[in-house]
Structure 1
Amino acid sequence: MGKKFSDLRARMSPESQARADAMAQTMLAEMPLNELRQARGLSQKMLADVLHVQQPSIAKIEKRTDMYISTLRSHIEAMGGHLDVVARFPDGVVKISNFSDLGGSAAT
């Protein structure tokens, strides 16, 4: 029989636990759309219903490497999120505001 993760974690040093937590946060901060959907507890069918499309459309979107910002925004909003387009430079970060009203949703 396998061991409980909580038991294994309890035997880790505080430094190892901190490193594991940091790695987990890094992994959660960046992921493909399909993993994000799964992490939010949504199936492709559930997301398709919210977007009023067929499930194969969701599968197709999740496999794309290039798409309209409005498509990505509607996908993120259907999962309960909000999409911001941000440019990162060595001297700072700038939120691009041109795209704030795309997709027919109100900017918050």
Structure 2
Amino acid sequence: MAKKFADLRAQMTPQAREQADEKTQTMLAEMPLHELRRARGLSQKMLAEALHVQQPSVAKLERRTDMYISTLRSHIEAMGGELEVIAKFPDGVVKINNFAELA
């Protein structure tokens, strides 16, 4: 018989719950585009309609490993987000702002 997640979580030690929460936050902070779309509750068809393209175009875009920043920005904005480009260095991070106003 299947158990409810809430019941299983209640049986976890506080330390195990904390570790699970940290793992969840890590997983939510980094994900491929198709998982991000799903997490936002959108189908490829819904996103295609927002982007004014056909559904196969969304599927193709989600499989790409290289794309224009403007293409990625449009995809993210269609999901209700905002794209920021961040460069990470050993001594800190820098937000790259010359892509902010591209249209």
Q: TM-score if structure 2 supplies the norm length?
A: 0.98
1:1-108 alignment, distance < 5 Å: 1-102=1-102, 104=103
Post-superposition offset of 1:101: 1.3
In structure 2, what residue type is equivalent to 1:39? A
Percent sequence identity over matched residues? 74
Gapped regions of structure 1 (runs ≥ 5) = none
Segments of structure 2 that go 5 or more residues without pairing to the other structure are none
Distance in 2 of aligned mates of 1:98 and 1:66: 19
Amino acid at match of 1:61: L
> Alignment RMSD, CA only?
0.5
List per-residue Cα deviations over 1:18-72 (Å, max 9, x = no partner): 0000000000000000000000000000000000000000000000000000000
1:98 positional shift:
1.2
Q: Which amino acid aligns with 1:4?
A: K
Offset of residue 78 of structure 1: 0.2
Q: Which runs of 4+ in 1 moved over 2 A?
A: none
Inter-partner Cα distance in structure 2 for 1:89 and 1:22: 24
